[in-house]
Amino acid sequence: MPAADPAPAPTREPYSRVVLRAALWLVLLAPLFYSTYGFANWLASRHDDVGSIVSGWERAIPFMAWTIVPYWSINLFYGLSLLLNDTRSGVDRLAGRYLTAQFVAVACFILFPLKATFVRPETSGLPGFLFAVLGGFDKPFNQAPSLHIALLVIIWDHWRNRLGGIARPIWHGWCLLIGASVLTTWQHHFIDIPTGALLGFFALWLFPRDGKLPFAGFRPTSDPRARRLTLFYALGAALALAGAIAGALVSAVSLILLWPALALAIVAFGYAGAGPRVFQKASDGGVSLASRVLLWPYRLGARVNLLMWTRKLPPRVLVTDGVFLGRFPTAGEADGFGTVIDLAAELERPRRASGRWTSLAVLDLLPPSQDRLAEAVVAIETARKHGTVLVCCALGFQRSASVVAEWLVASGRSHTVAQARKKLAATGRPVHLGAIGVDKPA
């Protein structure tokens, strides 16, 4: 039989079209930035009581006039990042990140204006010129979240996977210098940095480099259970946000609650209709950097919950024919199987796990769809050709149990779900098939 023809190489988009799209975006973004940023400055300047959030230790930060050079360099990288892209969709997504950072930051500047309290000494030479130009449009307002830091996170991420060799560590080092310069130029106070970084990662999450947008195809859920979970997580987000705002009057440390507030809001958005894509989990179990950072508080809670519920249980049990059911594994546990089939949308594959891994993301406490169940059955049968199989979710009680039950019936090892339930119960592991809707003859 003749060998199949090789797949055609992907068509490269003409760069003239890419650069034209980038130029059009710059024509829009530049005046939009200066107009909205200036408007927020103007509004804040009309108030007599603009406050500030500054710690005493910040007074020990030295003023280094030369760091205005890396501070200003972000303007160059802002434009170059748009112009140096491979596709027009890449340009559009980067522009979407820029717009997200700008609109959210400006909204915060208008609603919660803050003021930088340090007065810079007189400078001369190139630094003096750059400070003078900066002072022509920038005022000591527009502090938290730092738009400079938000844009830095976006631009750093844009280049970190495009550069190789010695250029990559040089890029990381220059970005660290840009980040530090917001303090050493006395442009910002410390609290502006973590809040700006959080905004930058949110923009990366909202417009990921690859895959579908988290809000694409959003349809409000009609599932009563999903609605209850939406309200539960939305309430948690609202309480955390309220705690951050109220606590800021006493201590800036309370602003750390903005992090879990955003994480819980993203999870609520997933249950409201966006689905498991809000976790940005790939088929190999990895997640995007933005998802890893933004959802870390939620994942920490999920890990604690996992330990609480499964600490007295064996991590997995054999069901039949080399197929195991269990909780989410550690790297060492995962590498003990031929394949791990993972249903937990919210948990990331352990970094050091090197074996075969298939992620079929399903939201916690919701039933897998029929399409997902069918996909999982095929995945189990395929994985069995490569050795033992661990089917897992967070606890190994519901999502993974429903998949194993479906596989038992589909493969003829059980004639009904009731028989599959008995087979699973015989393993000694608690399962809750009825709680997620898998309780019917197959």
**What positions carry a catalytic annotation?**
393
Name, in order, each residue with C-beta under 8 angstroms of 44's C-beta and a sequence gap of 6 or more: 50, 109, 113, 115, 139, 141, 142
Please state, in angstroms and as integers, the Cα–Cα distance from residue 334 to each residue in 316, 326, 362, following that order: 11, 11, 19
3-state secondary structure 96-116: HHHHHHHHHHHHHHHHCCECC
Query: C-alpha 307: how far from its chain's center?
Result: 24
Closest of 103, 62, 78, 65 to residue 25, by C-alpha = 78
Query: C-alpha 357: how far from its chain's center?
Result: 21
Q: What is the DSSP letter of 13?
A: P
Provide φ and ψ at 72, rounded to 5°: -70, -25
Q: What is the DSSP letter of 281?
A: B
Size of the chain in residues: 442
| Other Cβ atoms within 10 Å of 263 Cβ, number | 24
Give dist(CA 169, CA 149) in Å, integer: 19
Amino acid identity, position 210: D
Give dist(CA 96, CA 25) in Å, integer: 10
Judge whether 339 and 386 are in contact, CB under 8 Å: yes
Q: What is the DSSP letter of 211?
A: S
- Assigned token pair, 420: 């599959």
Report, in angstroms and rounded to the nearest whole number, the Rg of the chain calculated over CA atoms: 26
- Assigned token pair, 168: 């990559």
Give dist(CA 125, CA 122) in Å, integer: 11
Judge whether 145 and 112 are in contact, CB under 8 Å: no
- Assigned token pair, 189: 């106070």
**Backbone φ/ψ region at 213: left (φ over 0), alpha (ψ -120 to 50), beta:** beta
Provide φ and ψ at 130, rounded to 5°: -65, -40
